[in-house]
Amino acid sequence: MPTTVPTTQLPASMQATIDSLARRQLIAPALLLIAGHRPLAFIAGQTLYLAAPVGVMLGFDGWTDWAKALSDPQGTDQLLEALDHAQ
């Protein structure tokens, strides 16, 4: 059963995505994807900042939360910790 991470507080949109991955038993692939592409996390975060206005027009919320997490060097560590805890 997925739970929230006690050491870091994630935005609701990110926690919802992690819960969805846990329900589908896709935590391990997500961990591998994020850990393997860590050098590209900053670029992915900046791309999400660029695409966020389009996402809002299409009804997708939470892209800026993901962009902030991926652009921050400690953000990927927090995301990996949250995924590991949800597993």
Q: What is the pLDDT of residue 87?
A: 83
pLDDT at 2 > cutoff 90: no
Q: What is the pLDDT of residue 47?
A: 96
Q: What is the pLDDT of residue 8?
A: 64
72 backbone φψ class: left, alpha, beta (φ>0; ψ -120 to 50)? beta
The span from the CA of 65 to the CA of 28, in Å, is: 22
Instruction: Report the amino acid identity of residue 68.
Output: K
Q: Which residue has the higher pLDDT, 66 or 4?
A: 66
* Whole-number percent of the chain with pLDDT over 90: 74
pLDDT at 7 > cutoff 60: no
Sequence spans of domains, the chain: 40-87
Average the pLDDT over 54-74 and give the result: 90
